[in-house]
Amino acid sequence: MYPPPPTLPRAALNAGAAASAPPAPKSSRGPMIRACLLPPAQAIPALRALLLLALVLGASLAGSLARAEESADLRAAIAALAKGSFAETEKRIAALAALGDARAVPALEALAGGDLYRREADGAVFIARSAGGGYRLTEPLSLQDVGTAGRREVKKIRVNNRLRRTIRAALGALTLSASDPARRLAAAKAILKTRDGEAVEALDQALARETDPQVAAVMQAARAAAVLASDRSAEEKSAAIDLLAARGDREAMAIVASIATAGDAPLAAQAKAAVARMERSQALWDVARNIWYGLSLGSVLLLAAIGLAITFGVMGVINMAHGEMVMLGAYTAFMVQGLFGALAPGLIDYALVVALPAAFLVTGLVGIAIERGVIRFLHARPLETLLATWGVSLILQQGVRTLFGPTNREVGSPSFMSGAFELGQLTITYNRLWILVFSLTLFAALIAAMRKTRFGLTIRAVTQNRRMAASMGIRTPLVDALTFGLGSGIAGIAGVALSQIDNVSPNLGQSYIIDSFMVVVFGGVGNLWGTLLGAMSLGIANKFLEPFAGAVLAKILVLVFLILFIQKRPRGLFALKGRAVEA
Amino acid sequence: MTRRFFTHGMTRGSWVFLALLAAAGVLVPALNLGLPAGHPLHMPTYAVTLSGKYLTYALLALALDLVWGYCGILSLGHAAFFALGGYAMGMYLMRQIGPRGVYGDPLLPDFMVFLDWQELPWYWLGFDAFPVALAMALVVPGLLAFVFGWFAFRARVGGVYLSIITQAMTYALLLAFFRNDMGFGGNNGLTDFKEILGFDLQSDATRAGLFAASALALGLAFVLCVAITSSRLGKVLVAVRDAESRTRFLGYRVEHYKLFVWTVSAMMAGLAGALYVPQVGIINPGEFAPANSIEAVIWVAIGGRGTLVGPVLGAGLVNFAKSWFTAALPELWLFALGALFIAVTLFLPKGLVGSLPRLWANATSARSKAPPDARTKAPAAAE
Amino acid sequence: MPHHAPPTMPGQPDPHRHDTLLYLDGVSVAFDGFQALNNLSMVVARTEMRAVIGPNGAGKTTMMDVITGKTRPDSGTLRFGETIDLTRHDEADIAGFGIGRKFQKPTVFESHTVEDNLALALKGRRGPFAALFHVTGDDERQRIDDLLSLIRLAHLRAAPAGGLSHGQKQWLEIGMLLAQDPQLLLIDEPAAGMTDAETAATAELLRDIARTHSVVVVEHDMAFVRALDVKVTVLHEGSVLAEGSLDHVSANRKVIDVYLGR
């Protein structure tokens, strides 16, 4: 028997797990080509932080020439951090923050992280990272690389926990005035988390300048949180509670709830009422969130099952290699992206668009080959077909493993699929949204093809009465092959989409095969609409179970439910009944 | 009466098979224990254990043949019954470790101590007694099969639908046994066994004994299968396989027959699992993998379904090939296995043993007109 | 056994006759909007033979499905004997009550021998454990021998049934029906695929059976129906169109319309 595949349950659950993690972990990563150029894993976070800083400060650097004389002050203030006792340093950090110049941020962050060093020779201060036997130095203002230094030439500027807190506060105030709105947003959110009572004034100043409404809203909330933590008047606090209650998210609720238990009597009562209100709206948002995640999971199930709805549902062929068609589609996406990376890196965002027809062709042809080579000889022997196609799936898996290796391949996301937006209290990631839209589009196209085109009519004719269709001049073997090719091709297209949210590995297909069969059977064999409804309702059911049962148990419960359901209604939700099916 | 029940269906081929099995059950341990290591006929212990493992696979194949070959029920979940039997035995072996575990807890297996559990879960009670564990290795798979079959067969779920839900069943169990809080060791399963019935599991004598026990179990199960399939009940099973609704209209309650043979088969698979675990020294959730069940199906298919002897040979052949490939050409094994699936279904639908009579007939009377061969009709064609 | 009963109006069966064996009243079945049986009513007496004819899709096979428990009716009454409500039982129960059925396509157990086919059909205990420990007795052997000679397959008793000709399979299936010793036999197109001589012999066999059993025969072959010489029920679109002797129904205007097309 097989060695126990340790990745199996994880891979199998991937669809579910990925859907429940709101910020998609993959979307932040660059395309595979860029990923390959990055240095080893442990250096990546640090390097990425620097890159980010460089980007953030890029705009302010451009204008910094005009402020050359200010830079001198700033540089002096930074250099001053290197001298004196902890108490003195604390004062100097405050002084640096008082300058209100966001360019001090990298230096302060490096100081908090223990990466700020003083050169013994001239007392100059640098951000340093160990490289080889010594350090690589970065100028803290310009962020330019200024060469290396030996181990003994530089000395780390030490900080303690008290200083770190001071630095954090200073950073908060500084970043509130950063020119990049994302940076300001992050600063406001940080204050919302720490609930620093001292930050009220800084926030007031920042609010006066703020132009971005989204950032301003978070700053308002942060200010309210800060007010509640400060010793301001009861009226102000009461207004703050109202403001947070109106905001209504989990963070606001936690802040208000802390007042409800610890605050003064009248405030506590107000907070208690506010919490109750917020809990009610929170419950509604939870339902909305579960529905969204459920639809998201449902769209994955739909993608996985939609090709099978043709080959199994319409043709009645048990294709155990269906999952491998999905896998081949994902690998096609990987190949196409590799080609774009090599030939036209500028157009890499369009690689997926090209990968869709490519995958359709590749898997469609493989499907036709399977139908011609194996399945047609096993007509009306479903159990044998099941075994033979299982053999095909083993060969395809091993073939891909031999060609591409057993490890996961990464298919990057185009820029329009990265990121997320907020809808009320829902965080909706673009890749999930795209996949939902894409799966529904694919479904609609398939329905249209089956209903409106001559090919669709021919398929239906052959599946309903093969002999009659043949006698009317339809070449049934050709239709069989093309129909199977269509189902396989659609599985390949689904594979391209799934490459965006799942690991592309030779085992990719295995994790979908049981789910896809379950969806098709649950929806009702031969009924495309049933497949849609089956996928979506199973997705949503799974996500509503997860909060109570956990991801794995939810999955098990859904499987058990399906097993029982099929026994109650062996022909699925929307079964055609009649003599023909019984025969 | 009882004796007649067990022997009336035995053919000459069956007796030959039993004799060979008995000879192996005696000879293999003798060649291992009786001859010194340098002797040309000495059988190394790893070979004894490997052959013992094949015998337990053969028992699983026999169980599968009973339901698929004779009743047309293609189970893609028999590995679940096998693994459940294995876990029952594994729990016994776990409790035999006693205070010799890494953490030295007299009662709790290591993984429970690691998970900071304070007491033994109720379903681990009694597993320190071998008879209880052995009974559970039969009862638990049997009970699961009974409940599952009760619903499935009454609802007349058949054909590929049944195959798919048996696969879903073993998949659900796979996911469940991966969970640490199930209390079966999660991902790692149960391992580090020390002894069985007081005998050291590492010793040659114990290994030889386990081999002999496996041979005995396979022999007994074979006799039982012959008795079942040659009885009136066996004929009803074949009738169900070939024309299910005809059988119903004759007044047979088909679901009861299916349930009976399904449950018996699951218990045999459980016994196979219970014999497998002490020989390989580990049981983990990977044994529930749907791929395992399907691989067992190919043993039956290549040997010849509905022949009892065939699946036993098939299990041996395929696993021998697998051992050889995974050592010599590991990348090629899945290609070979995949090709085997395709080749057997396309070119050898009756399997090796099932095709023998015709090969024999062709050889002896090449010129005479072949009679219409009723048995060429594959069971699945009736669906 | 000529049966020149006066023509009765369809839809008005008399449930109070003591010799009523099968009683259908207002039985309807629909498949996805298609009305397979539409308010069907029919009565079959003990030891009566009835021929049921009708064009394709008239509901003949569905009627048999309903009587034998394969299909549940949406509405209507179905009684067997005085007391048994057939709608509450499944195929195995109904077979046990004494209703045997022969399929349109001859269905025998192809990998079993002719003898085993009959042995499986023999009246007896049907439970799995009874079957497991069953030992064939002398009386059973005798009964099988009788049946084999009746259906003229004694020389093929050890041959696998899958190797029989189409007509032989039809006869074997009728033999299996008789082995069940039912009170009512439902026979779907027994003459299909038979030579003329075989057809005549089959008609004779059925008349013979009807001396002691009730028989309902569905048939397309009018010559065969004429040879049976029994009361005929014409089905059309799931209900009874006409009932009476073959001559009587052949003269019926509606029947002519249905068969010749409007």
Is-contact A306 A531, C-beta < 8 A?
yes
Query: Contacts of residue B155 in chain A, CB cutoff 8 Å?
Result: 566-568, 570
CATH value at residue C232: 3.40.50.300
Sort out which chain B residues have CB atoms less than 8 A from A517's CB and list them: 164, 167-168
Average pLDDT, chain B: 90
State how far the alpha carbon of C212 is from the alpha carbons of B379, C3, C84, C92, C208, in Å: 37, 15, 21, 23, 8
pLDDT at A48: 53
* Residue A68 pLDDT: 54
Find chains touching chain A: ≥3 CB pairs under 8 Å: B, C
In a domain? residue A8: no
Do residues A253 and A126 share a domain?
no
Instruction: For chain A, positions 2-21, list CB contacts with chain B under 8 A.
Output: 2-6, 8-9, 12-13
Tell me: the pLDDT tens digits for B255-267? 999 999 999 999 9
Please check the confidence at residue A485 and state whether its pLDDT lies above 80.
yes
Given CA atoms B197, B200, B202, B205 in this order, what sign does their dihedral have? negative
pLDDT for A66: 44
pLDDT at B125: 92
Q: Report DSSP state, residue B287.
A: G
Q: What is the pLDDT of residue B379?
A: 39
Nearest chain A alpha carbon to B187: A6
Chain A residue closest in CA terms to B297? A387
The answer to whether position A15 is within a domain reads: no
Q: Kindly state whether residue A169 falls inside one of the protein's structural domains.
A: no
Residue A28 has pLDDT above 80, yes or no: no
Q: pLDDT band at residue C260, thresholds of 50, 70 and 90?
A: low
Q: Which residues of C touch A582 (CB under 8 A)?
A: 70
pLDDT (0 to 100) of residue A69: 56
Statement to judge: residues A543 and A569 lie in one domain:
yes
CB A81 within 8 A of CB A93: yes
C-beta atoms of B174 and A518 within 8 A: no
Please check whether residues A193 and A235 belong to one and the same domain. Answer: yes
Q: What percent of chain B has pLDDT over 70?
A: 94
User: How confident is the model at residue B302, as a pLDDT?
Assistant: 93
User: pLDDT at residue A570 above 80?
Assistant: no
Separation CA A334–CA A409 (nearest Å):
7
Residues in B closer than 8 angstroms to A393, CB to CB, are: 338
Out of A374, A394, A510, the one facing B346 most closely (by C-beta) is A374
Measure the CA–CA gap between A138 and A512, rounded to whole angstroms. 49
Contact A245, A274 (CB under 8 A): yes
- Residue C246 counted as domain residue: yes
Confidence (pLDDT) at A575 = 57
Contact flag A579-C31 (C-beta cutoff 8 Å): yes
CB atoms near residue A406 (< 10 Å):
12
Across B194-213, average pLDDT: 93
A468 in contact with C at a CB cutoff of 8 Å?
Answer: no
Task: Say whether both A303 and A359 belong to one domain.
Answer: yes
Same domain, A193 and A296: no
- Tell me the per-residue pLDDT of A435-453, one tens digit each, with 9 for 90 and over: 999 999 999 999 999 889 9
| Ranges A415-419, B335-339, C24-28: which has the least confidence | A415-419
Structure tokens that stand for C3 in this block:
């049966």
End-to-end CA distance of chain B: 37
Tokens 């004034």 belong to residue:
A201
In a 10 Å sphere around its CB, with 0-12 CB exposed, 13-18 middle and 19+ buried, how is residue B108 labelled? buried
**Cα separation, A180 vs A223, whole angstroms:** 20
Report pLDDT digits (tens) over A91-105: 888 777 777 677 777
Q: Name which of B199, B370, B185 is nearest B278 in CA terms.
A: B199
For chain A, the average pLDDT equals: 79
pLDDT of A364 > 90? The answer is: yes
Per the model's pLDDT, the better-predicted residue between A226 and A10 turns out to be A226
Query: How many other C-beta atoms lie within 10 A of the C-beta of residue C86?
Result: 23
- The listed range with the strongest mean pLDDT (A213-217, A289-293, B20-24) is B20-24
Look at residue C144 and tell me if it is in a domain: no
Overall number of domains in chain A: 3
Residue A363 confidence (pLDDT): 96
- Which residues in chain B touch residue A402, judged by CB atoms under 8 angstroms apart? 331
Tell me whether residue A1 is in a domain: no
Neighbour subunits, C (≥3 Cβ pairs < 8 A): A, B
Same domain? A334 vs A468: yes
The mean pLDDT value for A307-332 works out to 91
pLDDT at A16: 38
Give which of C234, C226, C239 is closest to C253, Cα–Cα. C234
User: Do A409 and A532 have their domain in common?
Assistant: yes
Among C20, C26, C200, C213, CA closest to C102? C213
Residue A231 Cα distances to A192, A195, A204, A228, angstroms: 17, 13, 16, 8
Closest CA to A2 of B334, B279, B189, B344: B334
In a domain, C1, yes or no: no
Residue A428 has pLDDT above 90, yes or no: no
**A524: phi > 0 → left, psi -120 to 50 → alpha, else beta; which?**
left
Choose, out of B76, B187, B335, B342, the residue to mutate when testing the contact with A (most A CBs < 10 Å): B342
Residues constituting chain A:
583
Lowest mean pLDDT among A321-325, B28-32, B81-85, C257-261: C257-261
pLDDT at C261: 58
Mean pLDDT across the stretch C149-169?
Answer: 90
Average pLDDT over residues A276-284: 85
Share of chain B above pLDDT 90, in %: 74
Lowest mean pLDDT among A232-246, A472-486, B196-210: A232-246
| pLDDT for res A49 | 52
Task: Please list every residue in chain A whose beta carbon sits closer than 8 Å to the beta carbon of residue C70.
Answer: 582
pLDDT at B164 over 60: yes
Query: Does C31 contact A at CB distance below 8 Å?
Result: yes
Supply angle C-alpha A31, A36, A41, rounded to 5: 110
Report whether B166 contacts B75 (CB < 8 A). yes
Q: Could you tell me the pLDDT band of residue A70, with boundaries at 50, 70 and 90? A: low
Is A24 part of a structural domain of the chain? no
Contact A390 B79 (CB under 8 A): no
Q: Which of A53-62, A570-579, C125-134, C212-221 has the lowest mean pLDDT?
A: A53-62
Is residue C159 assigned to a domain?
no
Take residue C105 and report the two structure tokens written for it: 């396509």
Same domain, A158 and A215: no
Instruction: Give the residue numbers spanning the domain of A225.
Output: 180-263
Flag whether C174 is in a domain.
Answer: no
Q: What share of chain C in percent tops pLDDT 90? A: 44
Distance CA B95, CA B126 (A): 10
Nearest in space to A73 (alpha carbons), one of A47, A100, A54, A52? A100
Among B104, B58, B117, residue whose Cα is nearest residue B82: B58
Nearest to A514 among B168, B284, B295 (CB): B168
- d(CA B52, CA B204) in angstroms, rounded, equals 13
Chain C residues whose CB is inside 8 A of the B358 CB are none
- Picking from C95, C116, C163, the nearest residue to B371 by CB comes out as C163
Res. A29: pLDDT tops 50: no
Q: Is the dihedral of CA A497, A499, A501, A506 positive or negative?
A: positive
Angle between helices A181-194 and A250-262 (to 10 degrees): 30
Residue A323 shares a structural domain with residue A398: yes
Number of cross-chain residue pairs from A and C with Cβ atoms under 8 Å apart? 12
Task: Please report residues of C whose CB lies closer than 8 A to that of B243.
Answer: 107-110
Q: What is the pLDDT of residue A63?
A: 44
Q: A interface mutation test: which of B345, B347, B350, B383 has the most A CBs within 10 A?
A: B345
Q: Is residue C204 part of a domain?
A: yes
Contact call for A578 and C31, based on CB within 8 A: yes
pLDDT digits (tens, 9 = 90+) for B351-363: 998 888 777 777 7
Calculate mean pLDDT across residues C191-197.
82
